[in-house]
């Protein structure tokens, strides 16, 4: 998952189109089929933050969603290892999900496994504040989806391998969710009216956007996958700023 797409259009496209303006003329941009499928799967990924937040609301202990995520993560890791080590498993995996893989994922861990890992970590770190996990995972999943689509369709200003347009879309959607969606989810945010202070929303949205744009590099060779790092870091920022400014 990436805020601001770094992938060029290929011949493998789907009928879904976007309109863009280039050099004063209206042009039609076709989106690759695999990207459309990947973004639709983002909606399924929203089940993770929903489970983390709502299962405790229904009376289950916090470790129930964590246990479910642990099983999902373990299964995903096993599949990843098997497909990379066994040609038969790899061929079967490509047959079932190959159309959704990006080039760098064909021989590496897929983004979906990293996202499950992020949800698992968030369910533990924010077990006393499950709303934090819900918010940051939702922001990340939806922000990444809109950013990739915008970056691929109208992205022109490149920042490394990503685009300014895609990152702007990611930031914008995060702010929209903070003020037009989250306040209307009953009981989610305890602040008056369900609105967090502007400092909190800006800091969280900015964190998600920046850490998607700039890789979290520990050493020259060690880079933390953004699908894993962004929700965790953003969650810490959200919880910390909320406690300071409320």
Instruction: State the pLDDT at residue 97.
Output: 66
Q: pLDDT at position 8, please? A: 39
Mean pLDDT, 10 residues at a time, over the chain (246 residues)?
A: 46 43 44 60 86 96 97 95 86 70 72 94 97 97 87 80 89 98 94 94 97 80 88 97 90
The pLDDT value given to residue 14: 42
What integer pLDDT is reported at residue 229 of this predicted model? Answer: 93
Dihedral class, residue 53 (left if φ above 0, else alpha if ψ from -120 to 50, else beta): alpha
- On whether the pTM is more than 0.75, the answer is yes
Q: Name the β-bridge partners of 19.
A: 28
The per-residue pLDDT for 183 is 96
């Amino acid at each position: 998952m990436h805020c601001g797409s770094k992938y060029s259009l290929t011949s493998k496209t789907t009928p879904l189109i976007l309109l863009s303006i280039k050099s004063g003329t209206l042009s039609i941009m076709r989106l690759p089929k695999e990207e459309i499928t990947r973004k639709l799967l983002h909606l399924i990924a929203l089940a993770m933050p929903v489970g983390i937040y709502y299962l405790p609301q229904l009376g289950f202990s916090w470790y129930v969603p964590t246990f479910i995520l642990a099983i999902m993560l373990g299964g995903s890791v096993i599949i990843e290892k098997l497909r990379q080590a066994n040609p038969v498993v790899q061929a079967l995996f490509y047959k079932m999900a190959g159309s959704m893989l990006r080039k760098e994922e064909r021989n590496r861990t897929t983004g979906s496994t990293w996202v499950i890992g992020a949800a698992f970590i968030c369910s533990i770190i924010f077990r006393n504040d499950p709303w934090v996990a819900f918010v940051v995972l939702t922001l990340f999943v939806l922000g990444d989806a809109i950013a990739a689509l915008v970056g691929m369709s109208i992205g022109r200003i490149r920042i490394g391998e990503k685009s300014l347009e895609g990152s702007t879309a990611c930031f914008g959607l995060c702010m929209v969710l903070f003020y037009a969606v989250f306040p209307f989810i009953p009981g989610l945010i305890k602040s008056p009216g369900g609105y967090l202070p502007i400092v909190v929303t800006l800091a969280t949205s900015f964190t998600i956007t920046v850490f998607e744009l700039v890789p979290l590099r520990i050493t020259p060779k060690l880079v933390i996958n953004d699908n894993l790092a962004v929700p965790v870091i953003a969650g810490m920022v959200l919880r910390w700023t909320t406690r300071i400014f409320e």
